[in-house]
Structure 1
Amino acid sequence: MSKNRIITLLTDFGLSDVYVGVMKGAIAQINPQLKVIDITHQIPSQNIAAARFCLMTAFAYFPPETVHIAVVDPGVGSNRRAVAVKCANCFLVGPDNGLFGGVLSRESAIASVELTNPQYWRTPAPSSTFHGRDIFATVGAHLANGVPLEEFGQAIDPASLVQRQIPNCAVTATGATGFVQYVDRFGNLITNIPNNCITNNNWSVTISNSYAPIHIPSGKTYSDSKPGDLIAITGSDGWLEIAVNSGSAQSVLQLEVGDKIEIILSPLLKPSP
């Protein structure tokens, strides 16, 4: 039965406490040979939107059938479902609270179950505050070992999974409206405006939703601007990004996740299909 699939972990647990190590210990108790890779444990506390974005941008870099365990779970112990999902190229294990919505916007969910079978939990009486250790880590380990998905609990309709979809950007006659969907640790503002909206290499951005419009030149790298200056780039994750060379665009522009951005692009965006 053993498959020895790769397991990834993504949480908001940080690294100063024992929580991540304990989850890895629970996995190792089932199979110490399983390879466990940390995506990140620095998701801002209880920030499902940030977890959604980070898992969405990371999952495609792993081999097919990787088991992604993601635990950002402000509803732990409540009536939110614990789920496992089989997608075309991966498995997902974690709370059904929308953090898988980014992956599910790019991958077809083939089957899903609610984790109701305590045979695969660490204990039949799991903690009401640490499902990452008592349910998700052990289910993920058994799944990586090759236990069929249907063994973990009751089948549920994949269409019923909480998606937490983000709205698309809107292309306008002069540019686009969108919002900040993620702020990384450097203070770079990653928008929901896709890179493929840019027509060529000669473009710039004007943010118009401020007291005085802010003009931002474009570049290929952060160092294409002077230290302290704003720059707009096509980011590595596929989204238009606003940065400051050797600084924080978030601090300069005072924008947060969810804040609306209205931009004017020159040359203009490609027309909507």
Structure 2
Amino acid sequence: MRPVFFLSDFGLEDPYVGVVKAVLWEKAPGVPVLDLAHALPPQDLRRAAYALFEALPYLPEGVVVLAVVDPGVGTRRRAIAAIGRRLYVGPDNGLFTLAWLLDPPQRAFLLEKVRPPAPQGVQTLGGWAPGGHTFHGRDLFAPAAAHLALGLPAGELGPEVPVGSLLRLPLRLSPGPEGEVLTFDRFGNAITTLLQAPLGAWVEVGGRRVPVRRTFGEVGEGEAVAYLGSAGLLEVAVNRGSAKEALGLKEGMPVRLL
């Protein structure tokens, strides 16, 4: 049985994460489910795409990556399973853009043959029954991930589509010198699209020149610094502070290596 690595923006205040896990367990009893993140900013595809990019090098080949950050749930956006060195299940909305730079999909399938799970041991109330059209994490993606976790063929989930038709976000990682602010982590550090940060160089962002150092502890408290972050991308931080707030940074803001 393949383990499932689960990422979402569902948070932990509501039962959504637990319900998805319950469906996985019902469809594939005993499936190992490991949480990547669930407190991502709601509907923030850039932040979620970065989270998958950061985690992917440490996920074993052959596992199922179940990712549900889905602003278009219930609309005409497609639901997919994509097969690379890992198996991906989620909405076709660009969520996997950065992960697929590291593990390009070779085949892709629409989840058109997936049946929603039947409620277990509950009594309907008059004409009412559990359902709806806004919880595809439960109704489409969890059953599809369970199918793949059991080692069943992805072709049983629905028709194959060209991998070139899968949606990507307009993001480009590069060695520079030009880039942009990709997203922010919970500390307010700005993760950029630049793949290098030469020590001794400077970075220009938000009208400020920031020195490149090995780590944020090499500048004084409250000072800005740029460094190569844990995912191998250049980041901009404020020691013991938030670069997002202190420097007034925003997603998409230009960044330049000097």
Aligned to 1:118: 114
CA contact (8 A) 2:43 2:71 kept: yes
Deviates more, 1:16-25 or 1:30-39: 30-39
Is the CA contact 1:169–1:179 (under 8 Å) kept in the aligned structure 2? no
- Taking a change above 3 Å as real, the CA distance of residues 261 and 26 of structure 1, as seen in their structure-2 partners, is same
The runs of 5 or more residues in structure 1 that have no matched partner are 265-273
Shift of 1:31: 2.4
Offset at 1:103?
1.6
| Counterpart for residue 269 of structure 1 | none
1:261 is paired with a residue whose SS is: strand
SS of match in other structure, 1:5: coil
Residue type at the aligned position of 1:158 = V
Alignment of 1:165-176 (within 5 A): 165-169=170-174, 171=176, 176=177
Residue from 95, 98, 109 that aligns with 2:94: 98
Cα-to-partner distance string for 1:163-222 (whole Å, 9 max, x where unaligned): 214134574xxxx22110010000111111112x62xx4x13142652xxx332332222
Name the SS for the 2:106 alignment partner.
strand
Q: Secondary structure at 1:118's aligned position in 2?
A: coil
2:228 is aligned to 234
Structure 1 range deviating more: 215-224 or 94-103: 215-224
Task: Describe the SS at the equivalent of 2:88.
Answer: strand
Which residue does the alignment assign to 1:84?
A: 81
Contact 1:177–1:262 at 8 Å: present in 2 too? yes
Which residue type is aligned with residue 96 of structure 1? Answer: D
Counterpart of 2:48? Answer: 51
Q: Is the CA contact (8 Å cut-off) linking 2:108 and 2:160 kept in structure 1?
A: yes
Percentage of pairs with the same residue: 37
Structure 1: how far apart are the matches of 2:30 and 2:205?
54
Aligned to 1:142: 147
Of Structure 1 and Structure 2, the greater strand share is in 1
**d(CA) in 2 for partners of 1:67, 1:207:** 39
2:64 match: secondary structure: strand
- Contact 1:126–1:135, Cα closer than 8 Å, also in 2: no
The alignment's TM-score, normalised by the length of structure 1, stands at 0.85
Kept in 1, the 8 Å contact 2:206–2:247? The answer is no
Provide the secondary structure at the position in 1 that maps to 2:256.
Answer: strand
CA shift in 2, pair 1:208/1:254, >3 Å: closer
- For 2:31 and 2:118, locate their aligned partners in 1 and report how far apart those are by CA, in whole Å: 20
2:166 counterpart (161, 174, 190)? 161
Q: Is the 8 A contact 1:10 1:39 kept in 2?
A: yes
- Counterpart residue type for residue 147 of structure 1: L
Residue 146 of structure 1 aligns to which amino acid in structure 2? G
Q: Secondary structure, in 3 states, of the residue corresponding to 2:36?
A: strand
Q: Separation in 1 of the partners of 2:114 and 2:209?
A: 57
After superposition, the Cα gap between the structure-2 partners of 1:206 and 1:150, relative to the gap in structure 1 and judged at 3 Å, is closer
Describe the SS at the equivalent of 1:137.
Answer: helix
User: Could you state the TM-score of these two structures normalised by the residue count of structure 2?
Assistant: 0.90
* Contact 1:123 1:134 (C-alpha < 8 Å) held by counterparts: no
Partner of 2:238: 244
Moved over 6 A (4+): none
Classify the secondary structure of the residue corresponding to 1:60. Answer: helix
